[in-house]
Structure 1
């Protein structure tokens, strides 16, 4: 199903970039954890307009071929006690990422216990890679 959503996300991105307030010259980031991470790996692997991504809470080894095609900066979130994504499976997916700039954020806790400070980290990651409004 995730592969069927990629064209929908690309259409959405096309529409957003037509807005005067956005334009097609603005950098684009993607944030997705869990199912959003699974879909994100497929999207980011095929969409050149996305230049930075926060992904995680997934350990689907069948996504390693897609992950290998990702070369943009990635911040990857792992919950060490995630009952749905075994640690070794998540690490195989992280290792498969083709990006030379990838960071693993591993936290204790279950799938639903991502610490709130990870949001702050994601904001800093995107500010660093996409810039901030009004920056030169």
Structure 2
């Protein structure tokens, strides 16, 4: 892991950009010197790590005493996109503009993206846990629910997860949800125009966790109330501190 920049923010959080091979990432750590629990934070379906909503969540969470890390998935941010990636995104834009069904396009696009992203997140996790300022345990928080489901199934170091129900979950990860047994907080926007409410409720029901909580709020895809971030940190406090 090679750090390429760093800055101390007004809230005392240290923000550092890093590269790990071809993987670019950002790490936020609190001002305290004690080793901090780690949160892996991924935005919905691989949007760039610099997306403002993700950065705001990461900074808030780090100020609450956590190390927070995110990376750009293959084909996202500044990482090059394959011809297949470009075609899938073009097909998706065209279908959405025409009001056509998009589930099969999402299926063909997000499934392979998850398969590529999981090993990169595990490699990043290995490197992060070698840093003296990070102690564990590890949590996952983010809108990329499909990735979080797969990581929760294959990565025993993840002890709790917070998911946003706003992203498409491929059929494979929908089935894997039954294998997720860690404590879970699931956020649902009741009027999300891109994610049918019943599909999100069915996914919540499918999770195998004995401790799982659903928070539902009125509003569209990007309307999650800010207080849910505070509640999410309390959830992480219960299970990671």
TM-score norm. by structure 2 comes to 0.51
Q: Give deviations 1:34-90, integer Å, cap 9, x for gaps.
A: xx2221111112111000000122453612211111100000000000011101100
Mapped pair 1:111 → 2:214: no
* CA RMSD across the alignment: 1.2
Distance 2:225 2:154 in 1: 30
Count of paired positions = 127
Residues 129 and 122 from structure 1, CA distance in 2 versus in 1: closer, same or farther, beyond 3 angstroms?
same
Match of 2:202 among 70, 75, 92: 92
Structure 2 gap ranges (5+): 1-112
Q: Which residue of 1 aligns with 2:235?
A: 125
Distance 1:51 1:118 in 2: 20
Distance 1:5 1:37 in 2: 13
Match of 1:65 among 157, 175, 194: 175
Match of 1:5 among 105, 110, 117: 117
Deviating beyond 6 angstroms after TM superposition, the runs of 4 or more aligned structure 1 residues are none
Mapped pair 1:19 → 2:131: yes
Match of 1:49 among 157, 173, 188: 157
Give the secondary-structure state (helix, strand or coil) at the position aligned to 1:27.
strand
**Larger strand fraction of residues:** 2
| Larger relative contact order (CA 8 Å, sep ≥ 6) | 1
Give the secondary-structure state (helix, strand or coil) at the position aligned to 2:140.
strand
Task: Return the offset for 1:106.
Answer: 0.4
Distance 1:100 1:43 in 2: 18
Distance 1:118 1:67 in 2: 22
Distance 2:176 2:124 in 1: 21
TM-score norm. by structure 1 comes to 0.88
Q: Which residue of 1 aligns with 2:101?
A: none
